[in-house]
Amino acid sequence: METTGPVISGFGLDYLGLANLKAAHWNLSAGALYEQALRRSEAKLSKDGALVAITGQHTGRSPNDKFTVREETTEADIWWGPNKPFTEEAFDRLHARMTAYLQGRDVFVQDLWAGADAAYRLPVRIVTQHAWHNLFAQNMFIRPSLADRAQFEPGFTVLQVPDFRAVPERDGTRSDVFVVINFKKKLVLIGGTSYAGEIKKSIFSVLNFMLPAQGVLPMHCSANIGPGGDTAIFFGLSGTGKTTLSADASRTLIGDDEHGWSDNGVFNFEGGCYAKVIRLSAEAEPEIYETTRRFGTVLENVVMDEGTRALDLDDARLTENTRASYPIDFIPNASATGRGGQPLNIIMLTADAFGVLPPIAQLTADQAMYHFLSGYTARVAGTEKGVTEPQATFSTCFGAPFMPRHPTVYAKLLGEKIQAHGARCWLVNTGWTGGAYGTGSRMKIAHTRALVNAALSGELAGVRHIPEPNFGLAVPEGCAGVPADVLVPRNSWSDKSAFDATAHEVARRFEANFTQFQDQVDEKVVCAGIRTAA
């Protein structure tokens, strides 16, 4: 077997059962991975230097194809409702078939860290079939020094082989796609899909299981720091604006997607960003836009002119879920440490497809726990297979597909940390105004930015708040730069009776969804929630 790379860990690949490989390429640089990807026709080069890869059939996550191995060391701690079990025997058979498939083929290896706080970071090894996925992993996680890589011993490994497909009747999967996490063997198997997001989300799931036992709240959120040193976190699902709102030129970016909240403060899990770029605007989102024109950026499913190699970020013919993966230092104001202090503000983002939630409301600590457990938003087109337009959904903790433990474990940690550090909490609707999806319009980014900036500066905390009748929220009376009609959703609808009926229906959905948690949380949280009239 040929072995290449600037540094090769003394802890080899034997533990994975990999044998008779053609070559193993270790810890290659971005330039070397570009060369390999282009030579193998895995991707193409844009005129500005980004690497453009097309993922084929799967342009988003496949949540129904994710499994967790059911075994004695973690069985009692897994939330088996949405976490589909997989037997140890089926895992071993699938693993053996994957390693047999790789005989005579090349693999690419990256030894990386997940977690910017050394007290909690996890050494992760990402082994991929293709070079461009290895560059994605290098972008998304934290790169140790060469000396650290020479002594690297993985705490968890991802084996990603997109060209290997499962046989459901033989392998026990739902389809030919699979993402299987084995906490006992500290190994993730991914196959049948080239969508790179499965790599990072699998490690996020791993950290979501491991960290609560250490008193750390893992969060699907972005985070940044203001000029005065105040940290803010932004919860939200894909498409709600986490990346856009946290990449603010006036604040220092900690990270755009996955963080931990410990007694030391907030820390990024990642070393990069994975931003949606469909219809990206150079005027509205200049920092992210510029990353699409950089060497080292991986673009997924972005349409490119074959002759000029010019990108068309407005073209959604392949998917709405076009993505850019880039090192976090491509953002000019990114934090060099990936760490911040205890958060002063917590913002929960939702894209309300029904257009009835206010653009911002201040929450009590109990309301924050309620909305954290609810995780209301809309699935945005393209983020999951089969989703072609926004659909109302409840995704607990703003990240249900990645939560191995019961949601109340995370909510309890959130409540304790809010109380301990006195964080202000806000619900922000980046969805629709003036009507529901199809009738109204998407909230203007300029209005959302003005409201968020006013919340972070403390301005909104000092203004009079108006009680909102449908959801029990406190809405600020006014905010500079935002029309009064926008602040009160009912005023933005031409048909008031239609608004009332829609708001009542959304409130009813909140109430029905929360019944699954009401016997497991403090009565104060239940009382702080939404209750429709009988």
What's 170's domain CATH number? 3.40.449.10
Comparing CA positions, the residue from 80, 9, 60 lying closest to residue 196 is: 60
What's 497's domain CATH number? 3.90.228.20
Residues 266 and 281 in one domain: no
Separation CA 142–CA 267 (nearest Å) = 12
Separation CA 178–CA 98 (nearest Å) = 12
Residues 190 and 236 in one domain: no
Task: Provide the terminal-to-terminal Cα distance of the chain, rounded to the nearest Å.
Answer: 71
Task: Point out the domain boundary residue: 128, 159, 194.
Answer: 194
Catalytic residue ranges: 61, 201, 220, 238, 242-243, 257, 323
Look at residue 34 and tell me if it is in a domain.
yes
- Looking at the predicted structure, is the pLDDT value of residue 45 above 60? yes
Look at residue 366 and tell me if it is in a domain.
yes
pLDDT for residue 381:
55
Residues 236 and 123 in one domain: no
**Average model confidence (pLDDT) for the chain?**
94
pLDDT for residue 438:
84
> Which phi and psi (to 5°) does residue 242 adopt?
-55, -50
Look at residue 426 and tell me if it is in a domain.
yes
Separation CA 281–CA 286 (nearest Å) = 7
pLDDT for residue 124:
98
Separation CA 466–CA 149 (nearest Å) = 56
Identify whether the C-beta of residue 164 lies closer than 8 Å to the C-beta of residue 170: no
Look at residue 424 and tell me if it is in a domain.
yes
Mean pLDDT of 240-258: 90
By residue range, what is the domain housing residue 256?
217-270+337-528
The more confidently predicted of residues 441 and 382 is: 441
Look at residue 209 and tell me if it is in a domain.
no
Say what percent of the chain tops pLDDT 70.
97
Look at residue 75 and tell me if it is in a domain.
yes
Residues 259 and 279 in one domain: no
Identify whether the C-beta of residue 415 lies closer than 8 Å to the C-beta of residue 238: no
Task: Point out the domain boundary residue: 159, 194, 229.
Answer: 194
Helices 197-210 + 131-140 axis angle, to 10 = 40
Lowest mean pLDDT among 69-73, 257-261, 289-293, 466-470: 466-470
Residues 355 and 325 in one domain: no
E strand or H helix at 178: strand 178-182
Taking the model in full, what pTM does it have?
Answer: 0.93
E strand or H helix at 376: strand 376-379
Residues 107 and 148 in one domain: yes
E strand or H helix at 383: none
Residues 91 and 115 in one domain: yes
pLDDT for residue 533:
55
The more confidently predicted of residues 436 and 423 is: 423
What's 307's domain CATH number? 2.170.8.10
- Looking at the predicted structure, is the pLDDT value of residue 380 above 70? no
Residues 25 and 162 in one domain: yes
Cα dihedral value 144, 205, 409, 213, nearest 10? -40
Identify whether the C-beta of residue 137 lies closer than 8 Å to the C-beta of residue 54: no
Look at residue 292 and tell me if it is in a domain.
yes
Confidence band, pLDDT 50/70/90 cuts, at residue 388: low
Residues 358 and 397 in one domain: yes
Residues 442 and 512 in one domain: yes
Q: Where are the beta strands (DSSP E) in 229-352?
A: 231-235, 252-255, 258-262, 265-268, 272-276, 298-300, 303-304, 311-312, 323-327, 339-340, 343-350
Confidence band, pLDDT 50/70/90 cuts, at residue 238: confident
Look at residue 49 and tell me if it is in a domain.
no
Residues 154 and 17 in one domain: yes
pLDDT for residue 534:
44
Q: Which long-range contacts (CB under 8 A, 24 or more apart) does 197-200 make?
A: 197/60, 197/61, 197/274, 197/323, 198/61, 198/62, 198/160, 199/126, 199/128, 199/133, 199/136, 199/137, 199/140, 199/158, 199/160, 200/137, 200/140, 200/141, 200/257, 200/258, 200/270, 200/274
Q: How many domains does the chain have?
A: 3
Residues 75 and 121 in one domain: yes
The more confidently predicted of residues 485 and 531 is: 485
Q: Beta partners for 273?
A: 326
> Which phi and psi (to 5°) does residue 31 adopt?
-60, -45
